[in-house]
Amino acid sequence: MSTAAPTTPARDARASRWRRGHSGEFTPLAVLAALIGAAVALPAVYLFIVVGGDWDVAVDAVWRERTLWLLVRSLGLAGAVAVGATTLAVPLAWLTVRSDLPGRRVWAVLVLLPFVVPSYIGAYLLVSALGPRGVIVREVLAPLGIDSIPSIYGFWGAAAVLTAFTYPLVLLPVRAALRRMDPSLEEAARGMGAGQLRVARTVVLPQLVPAIGAGALLAVLYAMSDFGAVSILRYDSFTRVIYQNYRLSFERAGAAALGVVLILVMVILIVIEGRMRRRAGYHRNAPGVAKPAAPVPLGAWRYPAFAFCAAVVGLTLVLPLGVLVYWASRTAGTTVDWGEFGQAALNSIVTAALAAGIALVAAVPIARLGARYPGRASRGIEAAHHAGYALPHLVVALALVFLGIRLVPWAYQSLGMAVFALVVIYVPLAIGALRASMLQVSPSLEDAARGMGRGSLGVLVTITAPLVRPGVFAAATLVYIGAIKELPAMLLLAPTGYDTLATMIWGETSRSVFEAAALPSLVLLAVSAPVLALLVGRER
């Protein structure tokens, strides 16, 4: 009698402890993960050094009504973004993976594409389109008699814009989870008479919780650390104080202390996310291989589903793209240095690819630790891995300037240092996707292989790796796209004269010549989008 039932938490915990004691893999794995965690948590070290050097100023910067109020504002925004991103991502993932939505492979790519738009550009584009004197209001709504629309500035605008560009962070892991899910559970439930919705709620959704948690954590941390978008959308947030301290009053210790606060928030969020993960197992216990799920027929629901996808893609992709194309056309007459463009594009691609590769490797130990040996140790090490991602990127860059020039002066302002910064910032993007994929591989497969004499690394390479391939590609893609958008780290740490598309865009916007930024922005999207398309395309 095959049991495809999920295991219970208690059984899982016992199994975990047994495995920990008997597989011999735990200690070297934990040590390796801890070492990597220490390396990518270097920005936190900088923060403590700076705060320690000027304790009074540091405490004063934090212990202020305004600071605490802004922390609340940022948390509120981050919460709204988490809810919004999940609300968009889960239905979209289900529609593009499990349903018979016409053109779902195309939709699958389109709904992921907003992630390639840097949030500072995206925010500016959406303001240009939907602001009080925006293109949409002037050209489309005014002729229809509509004079004004709800303001894009402030909390709701910031939440909407950040959601628009971060929901793919939830979408990718949920997609991967849906694809690896064993449909026999759902079939069993349906066989027992449960309706479609009930199956979705009680069988599918609980299995998606780790993926949602992982994605939502990333979206929340992004919303907490972002500065570009919230400043354009005029939402007073915690990062604003950090930036002010660095850029207006040149108060390092104050800024560093605020960075420490963000780290603490991140640790709390990791603990919460860990709780969300501590649920039933998700791997198939029965013998045999899970067959791919048959597409669920939508019937009449196909039209609302279509409209939903179209609305999301329209607002988050078509609209910003439209503004970019419009601006690019306005600069059509000006001379373009294609050589410079090509070099910047190449630099962007190379740097991002290197970062993706290294981040992927760096993420493997902690992903495996979190999947197979969940517990306080793994969660602590995981928190260390998230230090760079939780901080505003300017802080990470300055931290690496400080430490880099003192610890490895020969590597200061080298490509290696820039790539290291990218890994420090973006490794969490790889961890979630990898771990969620690993969770869906049955440990009994690995235990069997180990029982037959294969070493731990051998098991990892020959048994686990092929099964977690979707997670690997998702992880690498996420880091690639995150890294190719990166700005502060490249400005401060890349070799002098090493232009990327992001720094080119910044150069134009810093002179307030926003139309000139359109062309490099389009090129940036052009070198990122195919990677996403590739990711989706290679599935099935």
Partner 1 sequence: MRRWTGIVAASCAALAVVVGLAACGGDDGESGTTGGGDVSELTVYSGRSEDLVAPLFERFTDETGIELSVRYGDTAEMAATVVEEGDRSPADVFFGQDGGALGSLEAEGLLAPLPEDTLSPVPAAFRSPDGRWVGTSGRVRVLGYDTRVLDEADLPASVFDLTDERWSGRVGWAPTNASFIAFVTAMRAEVGDEVTETWLRDMQANGAVAFERNGVLRDAIANGEVEVGLLNHYYIAQARAELADPDSYPVGTHYFPGGDVGSLINVAGAGVITATDKQEAAEQLIAYLLSPESQEFFVEETKEYPVVEGIDGPAGLPPLSSIEQPDINLNELSDLRGTLALIEQAGIL
For residues 137 and 127, give the distance between their C-alpha atoms in angstroms, rounded to a whole number: 11
| Nearer residue to partner 1 within complex by CB, 94 or 506 | 506
Name the minimum Å distance from CB 343 to partner 1. 14
List, in sequence order, every residue forming a beta bridge with 99; answer none if it has no partner.
296
Q: Please select the residue that binds partner 1; options are 85, 121, 203, 398, rule is CB under 8 A.
A: 398
Binding mask of the shown chain, residues 214 to 253, with x at each position contacting partner 1 by CB under 8 A: -----------------xx-x-x---x---x-xxxxxxx-
Contact set for partner 1, span 78-117 (CB under 8 A) = none
d(CA 495, CA 499): 9
Task: State which of positions 119-158 bind partner 1 (CB under 8 A).
Answer: 132-133
Name the nearest CA neighbour of 214 among 260, 139, 134, 274.
274
Q: Residue 379 corresponds to which tokens in the numbers above?
A: 């969660």
Neighbours of 286 (CB within 10 A): 14
517 binds partner 1 (CB under 8 A): no
Residue nearer to partner 1 on the CB measure, 152 or 532? 152
- How many other CB atoms sit within 10 Å of the CB of residue 513? 11
**Residue nearer to partner 1 on the CB measure, 309 or 422:** 422
Measured from the CB of residue 344, what is the shortest distance to partner 1 in angstroms? Answer: 12
Asked if 99 and 196 touch (Cβ cutoff 8 Å), the reply is no
CA of residue 122 relative to chain centroid, distance: 16
Residues 247-266, mask of contacts with partner 1 (x by CB under 8 A): xxxxxx--------------
Q: Which is nearer to partner 1, 237 or 440 (CB)?
A: 237
Binding positions for partner 1, 342-361, rule CB under 8 A? 354, 358, 361
Minimum distance from residue 501 beta carbon to partner 1 (Å): 15
Amino acid identity for residue 267 in this structure: V
Q: Could you give the maximum distance between any two Cα atoms of the chain, in Å?
A: 75
Q: Sign (positive/negative) of CA torsion 39, 40, 42, 45? A: negative
Site for partner 1 in 451-490 (CB under 8 A): 455-458, 488
- Which range touches partner 1 (CB under 8 A), out of 303-311, 321-329, 396-404, 432-440? 396-404
3-state secondary structure 280-347: CCCCCCCCCCCCCCCCECCHHHHHHHHHHHHHHHHHHHHHHHHHHHHHHHHCCCCCCCHHHHHHHHHH
What is the closest distance, in whole angstroms, from the C-beta atom of residue 458 to partner 1 in the complex? 7
Size of the site for partner 1 (CB under 8 A): 58
Which residue bears the tokens 């290696």? 416
Least distance between partner 1 and beta carbon 322 (Å):
19
Q: Which is nearer to partner 1, 235 or 389 (CB)?
A: 235
Give 402's contacts (C-beta < 8 A, 6+ positions apart): 46, 49, 50
Cα separation, 532 vs 89, in Å, equals 16
Q: Considering the complex, state which of residue 263 and residue 398 has its C-beta at the smaller distance from partner 1.
A: 398
Whole-angstrom distance, CA of residue 219 vs CA of residue 239: 15
Q: Whole-number minimum distance, CB 270 to partner 1, in Å? A: 25
Nearer to partner 1, 112 or 492 (CB): 492
CB of 40 to partner 1, least distance (A): 12
Enumerate residues 405-424 that contact partner 1 by CB under 8 A.
405-406, 408-417, 419-420
Task: For residue 399, give the nearest of 269, 255, 241, 264 by alpha carbon.
Answer: 255
Question: What are residue 296's DSSP bridge partners?
Answer: 99
Residue 66 binds partner 1, judged by CB under 8 A: yes
Q: Which helix (H) or strand (E) holds 82?
A: helix 65-97
Measured from the CB atom, the residue of 304 and 495 that comes closer to partner 1 is 495
- What residues make contact with partner 1 under the rule CB under 8 A? 24-25, 28, 32, 66, 132-133, 231-232, 234, 236, 240, 244, 246-252, 354, 358, 361-362, 394, 398, 401-402, 405-406, 408-417, 419-420, 455-458, 488, 491-492, 494-498, 507, 510-512
